[in-house]
Protein backbone atom coordinates (compact mmCIF):
# COMPACT_ATOMS: atom_id res chain seq x y z
CA UNK A 1 0.00 0.00 0.00
CA UNK A 2 1.41 3.39 -0.93
CA UNK A 3 1.34 6.46 1.26
CA UNK A 4 -1.22 8.06 -1.04
CA UNK A 5 -3.66 5.21 -0.35
CA UNK A 6 -3.43 5.38 3.43
CA UNK A 7 -6.46 7.04 5.04
CA UNK A 8 -4.07 8.70 7.45
CA UNK A 9 -3.11 12.25 8.32
CA UNK A 10 0.19 13.54 9.69
CA UNK A 11 -0.02 16.23 12.35
CA UNK A 12 2.96 18.52 12.76
CA UNK A 13 3.19 20.54 15.99
CA UNK A 14 6.03 23.08 16.18
CA UNK A 15 6.17 26.72 17.26
CA UNK A 16 8.70 27.48 14.48
CA UNK A 17 6.82 28.40 11.29
CA UNK A 18 9.86 27.64 9.12
CA UNK A 19 10.05 24.11 10.53
CA UNK A 20 6.32 23.57 9.99
CA UNK A 21 6.57 24.78 6.40
CA UNK A 22 9.62 22.62 5.73
CA UNK A 23 7.99 19.49 7.09
CA UNK A 24 4.74 20.19 5.27
CA UNK A 25 6.61 20.58 1.98
CA UNK A 26 8.66 17.40 2.45
CA UNK A 27 5.69 15.31 3.54
CA UNK A 28 3.21 16.57 0.96
CA UNK A 29 5.85 16.03 -1.73
CA UNK A 30 5.74 12.37 -0.71
CA UNK A 31 1.96 12.20 -0.98
CA UNK A 32 0.96 12.58 2.66
CA UNK A 33 -1.92 14.62 4.08
CA UNK A 34 -0.54 17.14 6.56
CA UNK A 35 -2.01 19.50 9.17
CA UNK A 36 0.24 21.91 11.06
CA UNK A 37 -0.19 23.54 14.47
CA UNK A 38 1.88 26.16 16.28
CA UNK A 39 1.24 24.73 19.76
CA UNK A 40 0.22 21.62 21.64
CA UNK A 41 -2.83 23.41 23.01
CA UNK A 42 -4.00 24.26 19.48
CA UNK A 43 -3.53 20.66 18.37
CA UNK A 44 -5.43 19.20 21.35
CA UNK A 45 -8.30 21.56 20.63
CA UNK A 46 -9.04 19.81 17.34
CA UNK A 47 -7.55 16.34 17.76
CA UNK A 48 -9.98 13.51 17.06
CA UNK A 49 -8.73 10.18 18.48
CA UNK A 50 -10.88 8.25 16.01
CA UNK A 51 -8.91 9.75 13.11
CA UNK A 52 -6.13 7.49 11.86
CA UNK A 53 -3.10 9.72 12.32
CA UNK A 54 0.51 10.13 13.34
CA UNK A 55 2.13 13.03 15.19
CA UNK A 56 5.44 14.82 14.67
CA UNK A 57 6.02 17.24 17.54
CA UNK A 58 8.82 19.52 18.71
CA UNK A 59 10.22 18.66 22.13
CA UNK A 60 10.75 22.25 23.27
CA UNK A 61 8.00 24.80 22.71
CA UNK A 62 6.63 27.79 24.65
CA UNK A 63 3.60 26.85 26.73
CA UNK A 64 2.91 23.13 26.44
CA UNK A 65 6.10 21.26 25.59
CA UNK A 66 6.19 18.21 23.35
CA UNK A 67 6.68 16.01 26.42
CA UNK A 68 3.64 17.55 28.12
CA UNK A 69 1.63 16.98 24.95
CA UNK A 70 2.68 13.32 25.02
CA UNK A 71 1.52 13.09 28.65
CA UNK A 72 -1.82 14.68 27.74
CA UNK A 73 -2.34 12.16 24.93
CA UNK A 74 -1.41 9.26 27.22
CA UNK A 75 -3.96 10.52 29.74
CA UNK A 76 -6.59 10.49 26.99
CA UNK A 77 -5.48 6.98 25.99
CA UNK A 78 -4.99 8.36 22.49
CA UNK A 79 -3.59 5.69 20.14
CA UNK A 80 -1.52 8.10 18.02
CA UNK A 81 2.13 7.21 17.24
CA UNK A 82 4.52 10.07 18.10
CA UNK A 83 7.89 11.17 16.71
CA UNK A 84 9.71 13.99 18.48
CA UNK A 85 11.78 16.58 16.65
CA UNK A 86 14.66 18.25 18.41
CA UNK A 87 17.77 20.26 17.79
CA UNK A 88 19.25 19.26 21.11
CA UNK A 89 19.90 15.52 20.74
CA UNK A 90 18.89 14.89 24.34
CA UNK A 91 19.52 11.15 24.79
CA UNK A 92 17.99 10.75 28.29
CA UNK A 93 14.90 12.60 27.07
CA UNK A 94 14.72 10.29 24.06
CA UNK A 95 14.86 7.22 26.30
CA UNK A 96 12.09 8.60 28.52
CA UNK A 97 9.75 9.39 25.62
CA UNK A 98 10.43 6.04 23.92
CA UNK A 99 9.50 4.20 27.14
CA UNK A 100 6.21 6.12 27.12
CA UNK A 101 5.43 5.05 23.58
CA UNK A 102 7.19 7.48 21.25
CA UNK A 103 8.25 5.83 18.00
CA UNK A 104 11.41 7.77 17.26
CA UNK A 105 13.38 11.00 17.39
CA UNK A 106 14.04 13.27 14.41
CA UNK A 107 16.91 15.72 14.71
CA UNK A 108 17.10 19.11 13.04
CA UNK A 109 18.10 19.77 10.32
CA UNK A 110 15.93 17.09 8.73
CA UNK A 111 17.34 14.47 6.41
CA UNK A 112 14.63 13.71 3.85
CA UNK A 113 15.55 10.03 3.56
CA UNK A 114 15.40 9.62 7.37
CA UNK A 115 12.07 11.45 7.47
CA UNK A 116 10.58 9.16 4.82
CA UNK A 117 11.77 6.05 6.66
CA UNK A 118 10.45 7.20 10.03
CA UNK A 119 7.09 8.32 8.62
CA UNK A 120 6.63 5.00 6.81
CA UNK A 121 7.24 3.19 10.10
CA UNK A 122 4.83 5.54 11.88
CA UNK A 123 2.15 4.74 9.33
CA UNK A 124 2.58 1.03 9.98
CA UNK A 125 2.22 1.62 13.73
CA UNK A 126 -0.90 3.74 13.18
CA UNK A 127 -2.48 1.04 11.02
CA UNK A 128 -1.60 -1.71 13.54
CA UNK A 129 -3.03 0.29 16.47
CA UNK A 130 -6.21 1.08 14.53
CA UNK A 131 -6.65 -2.58 13.58
CA UNK A 132 -6.12 -3.68 17.17
CA UNK A 133 -8.58 -1.09 18.48
CA UNK A 134 -11.21 -2.19 15.95
CA UNK A 135 -10.70 -5.85 16.85
CA UNK A 136 -11.19 -5.02 20.53
CA UNK A 137 -14.35 -3.06 19.75
CA UNK A 138 -15.75 -5.93 17.66
CA UNK A 139 -15.02 -8.48 20.38
CA UNK A 140 -16.53 -6.27 23.08
CA UNK A 141 -19.72 -6.09 21.03
CA UNK A 142 -19.74 -9.88 20.80
CA UNK A 143 -19.25 -10.23 24.58
CA UNK A 144 -22.15 -7.84 25.15
CA UNK A 145 -24.48 -10.54 23.77
CA UNK A 146 -24.04 -12.60 26.93
CA UNK A 147 -26.40 -12.43 29.90
CA UNK A 148 -25.04 -11.59 33.35
CA UNK A 149 -25.13 -15.29 34.33
CA UNK A 150 -23.36 -16.30 31.12
CA UNK A 151 -20.68 -13.70 31.87
CA UNK A 152 -20.16 -15.32 35.28
CA UNK A 153 -19.86 -18.77 33.73
CA UNK A 154 -17.47 -17.46 31.06
CA UNK A 155 -15.19 -15.88 33.68
CA UNK A 156 -14.90 -19.24 35.42
CA UNK A 157 -14.30 -21.17 32.20
CA UNK A 158 -11.44 -18.78 31.41
CA UNK A 159 -10.10 -19.26 34.95
CA UNK A 160 -9.89 -23.00 34.23
CA UNK A 161 -12.76 -24.09 36.49
CA UNK A 162 -14.50 -27.37 35.68
CA UNK A 163 -18.26 -27.55 35.13
CA UNK A 164 -18.70 -29.18 38.55
CA UNK A 165 -16.69 -26.39 40.21
CA UNK A 166 -18.60 -23.68 38.33
CA UNK A 167 -21.87 -25.25 39.45
CA UNK A 168 -20.68 -25.10 43.06
CA UNK A 169 -19.43 -21.53 42.71
CA UNK A 170 -22.75 -20.28 41.35
CA UNK A 171 -25.03 -22.66 43.26
CA UNK A 172 -26.57 -24.08 40.09
CA UNK A 173 -26.72 -27.56 38.61
CA UNK A 174 -24.06 -29.02 36.32
CA UNK A 175 -26.71 -29.34 33.59
CA UNK A 176 -27.42 -25.61 33.89
CA UNK A 177 -23.69 -24.87 33.58
CA UNK A 178 -23.55 -27.07 30.47
CA UNK A 179 -26.54 -25.22 29.00
CA UNK A 180 -24.92 -21.84 29.71
CA UNK A 181 -21.66 -23.08 28.23
CA UNK A 182 -23.42 -24.17 25.03
CA UNK A 183 -25.20 -20.80 24.79
CA UNK A 184 -21.93 -18.94 25.27
CA UNK A 185 -20.21 -20.92 22.50
CA UNK A 186 -23.14 -20.31 20.17
CA UNK A 187 -23.45 -16.57 20.92
CA UNK A 188 -19.71 -15.99 20.58
CA UNK A 189 -19.61 -18.10 17.43
CA UNK A 190 -16.76 -20.33 18.59
CA UNK A 191 -16.31 -24.10 18.68
CA UNK A 192 -13.28 -24.49 20.95
CA UNK A 193 -12.28 -23.27 24.40
CA UNK A 194 -9.09 -21.84 22.84
CA UNK A 195 -11.16 -19.54 20.60
CA UNK A 196 -13.35 -18.69 23.59
CA UNK A 197 -10.24 -17.64 25.53
CA UNK A 198 -9.11 -15.29 22.75
CA UNK A 199 -12.38 -13.36 22.90
CA UNK A 200 -12.62 -13.42 26.68
CA UNK A 201 -9.09 -12.01 27.04
CA UNK A 202 -10.25 -8.76 25.46
CA UNK A 203 -12.61 -8.28 28.38
CA UNK A 204 -9.74 -8.95 30.75
CA UNK A 205 -7.55 -6.31 29.04
CA UNK A 206 -10.28 -3.70 29.43
CA UNK A 207 -10.88 -4.45 33.11
Is 140 part of any domain?
Answer: no
Residues facing 56 on adjacent strands: 12, 83
112/166 same-domain check: no
163/195 same-domain check: yes
Whether this model's pTM surpasses 0.75: no
28/119 same-domain check: yes
Distance in angstroms (rounded) separating the CA atoms of residues 27 and 54: 12
Is 57 part of any domain?
Answer: yes
Instruction: Look at residue 194 in the predicted model and tell me its pLDDT.
Output: 82
Domain containing 173 — which CATH number? 1.10.10.10
Distance in angstroms (rounded) separating the CA atoms of residues 37 and 12: 6
151/53 same-domain check: no
Is 33 part of any domain?
Answer: yes
74/129 same-domain check: yes
96/121 same-domain check: yes
52/154 same-domain check: no
pLDDT category of residue 10 using cuts at 50, 70 and 90: very high
Domain boundary among 78, 103, 134: 134
Is 53 part of any domain?
Answer: yes
pLDDT category of residue 195 using cuts at 50, 70 and 90: confident
87/184 same-domain check: no
119/168 same-domain check: no
Is 95 part of any domain?
Answer: yes
What three-state secondary structure class fits 107? strand
**Number of structural domains found in the chain:** 2
Residues 6 or more apart whose CB falls under 8 angstroms from that of 48 comprise: none
pLDDT category of residue 5 using cuts at 50, 70 and 90: very low
**Whose CA is closest to 37, among 5, 66, 4?**
66
115/19 same-domain check: yes
State pLDDT tens for residues 126-140.
888 777 777 777 777
Is 139 part of any domain?
Answer: no
Ordered DSSP codes for 139-196: HHHHHTTS-HHHHHHHHHHHTT--HHHHHHHHT--HHHHHHHHHHHHHHTT-SSHHHH
115/171 same-domain check: no
155/95 same-domain check: no
pLDDT higher at 192 or 44:
44
Is 93 part of any domain?
Answer: yes
The yes-or-no verdict on residue 1 having pLDDT over 70 is no
Is 114 part of any domain?
Answer: yes
Q: Domain containing 195: what range?
A: 145-206
State pLDDT tens for residues 108-121.
777 888 888 888 88
Domain boundary among 134, 169, 198: 134
Domain containing 63 — which CATH number? 3.40.50.2300
State pLDDT tens for residues 71-118.
999 888 887 888 888 776 666 666 666 666 667 777 777 788 888 888
Residue 66 near residue 40, CB atoms below 8 Å: yes
State pLDDT tens for residues 146-184.
888 998 999 898 888 999 999 999 999 999 999 999 999
Amino acid sequence: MTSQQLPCIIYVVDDDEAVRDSLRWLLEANGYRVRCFASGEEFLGVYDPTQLAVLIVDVRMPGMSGLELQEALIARKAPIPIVFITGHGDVPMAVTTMKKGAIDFLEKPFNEADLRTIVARMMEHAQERASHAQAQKDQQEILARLTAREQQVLERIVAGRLNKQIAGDLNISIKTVEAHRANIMEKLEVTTVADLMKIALVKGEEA
